[in-house]
Amino acid sequence: MRFTIYQESRQGGRANNEDRTSYCYSRDALLMIVADGMGGHHYGEIAAQIAVQTLADSFQREAKPGLSDPFRFLQKAINNAHHAILDYSMRRQMKDSPRTTCVACLIQDSVAYWAHAGDSRLFLMRNGRLIAQTRDHSRVRLLLEEGIINEAQAAMHPDRNKIYSCLGGPAAPEIEFSRKTPLEHGDVLLLCTDGLWGVTSGESMAISLKGANLLQAIPMLLAEAEVKGGTHGDNLSVVGVRWEDAYIDEASSVISTQTMAKNEVTTRLDQFGRNPAYKSDLSDEEIERAIEEIRSAIEKYAPNK
């Protein structure tokens, strides 16, 4: 296998980053994952981290070096991640379990298999054109498909962030699978969270990534999206890969798995915790909130009351 891959996650204008990305590859297979921890529920970033980690762990265990049934692998791994999140919240006796979206794509023998739950998307681009994309599990998308609202209304819809399938919720996630999709030389697969696709259309991304070096083009896309997202913009995360024919020899940033040992797996997954680049700009409201929180803790834990 030969490919160029790039992943990055940015905080945008939010107080913390609840997105997680990862990719791992063995000699014969490549797995990419993007998870967007849901705000509104507590500890979205934990759910996202568990999801990404569970999938990466499964891959490391099973891809030796290929997978016998990619779709079954995705199904099992995503379900395991869902249960791992529930277990986590049960152990911690959380009132509400943390939740996350998840989109994962596996490439093996130049065929892509993907699955998703929620509104993180996968785009498949060929020659600057969009040839496939996942359909969000959101109410807005349903309304859109039924023709009740149009694209412009969808972009402004109050419920545009509401999704009906996710990992960690009370109901099992509704996982949607792709077809087996053969890849051609130069195809670009982009997995991203709504922080990116919410402000940049798939079509325009396909054009800007056409023939470009992903290592430069994706950071540019993110920077642009970050500006568009504004001061309160969502987290934006992406894993992008350009697929290459095994016999074509060019760019040096390309990863070739030909020389890898059979049972070797390389994983790129950021360690859990705050990004060291995390800068805090405490606003007045945040100060008030922190003080309020401390005061209520003092109240709550005070003896003889």
Partner 1 sequence: MAQQANQALPNGYSLEEYVIDRQLSLGGFSIVYLAKGQDGVQVAIKEYLPNSLALRNAGQIMPVISAEHLGAFRYGMKCFFEEGRALAKLSHPNVIRVLNFFRANETVYMVMEYEHGRTLQEYIQKHQGHISERFIRGVFTRMLNGLREVHSHKLLHLDLKPSNIYLRADNNAPVLIDFGAARQTLLTDQPMLKPMYTPGFASPEHYGSRNDLGPWSDIYSVGASMYACLAGNAPQAADERMKKDSLMPAMIRWDGLFSDRLLEIIDWCLNLNHLYRPQSVFALQKVLVESITPPNVKTRPTWINRFVDKLRKVDR
**Could you list the residues that contact partner 1 (CB under 8 A)?**
46, 271-276, 278-282, 287-288, 290-291, 293-295, 297-298, 301-303
Q: In the complex, what is the shortest distance from the CB of residue 97 to partner 1, in angstroms, rounded to a whole number? A: 16
Cβ proximity to partner 1, 261 vs 287, nearer residue:
287
Q: In the complex, what is the shortest distance from the CB of residue 117 to partner 1, in angstroms, rounded to a whole number? A: 25
Q: In the complex, what is the shortest distance from the CB of residue 280 to partner 1, in angstroms, rounded to a whole number? A: 5
Q: In the complex, what is the shortest distance from the CB of residue 98 to partner 1, in angstroms, rounded to a whole number? A: 12
Cβ proximity to partner 1, 259 vs 300, nearer residue:
300
Q: In the complex, what is the shortest distance from the CB of residue 272 to partner 1, in angstroms, rounded to a whole number? A: 7
Cβ proximity to partner 1, 152 vs 302, nearer residue:
302
Q: In the complex, what is the shortest distance from the CB of residue 174 to partner 1, in angstroms, rounded to a whole number? A: 30
Cβ proximity to partner 1, 174 vs 292, nearer residue:
292
Cβ proximity to partner 1, 89 vs 138, nearer residue:
89
SS (H, E, C) the chain: CEEEEEEEEECCCCCCCCEEEEEEECCCEEEEEEEEECCCCCCHHHHHHHHHHHHHHHHHHHCCCCCCCHHHHHHHHHHHHHHHHHHHHHHCCCCCCCCECEEEEEEECCEEEEEEECCCEEEEEECCEEEEECCCCEHHHHHHHCCCCCHHHHHHCCCCCCECCCECCCCCCCCEECCCEECCCCCEEEEECHHHHCCCCHHHHHHHHCCCCHHHHHHHHHHHHHHHHCCCCCCEEEEEEEEECCCCCCCCCCEECCCCCCCCCEEEECCCCCCCCCCCCCCHHHHHHHHHHHHHHHHHHCCCC
Cβ proximity to partner 1, 177 vs 272, nearer residue:
272
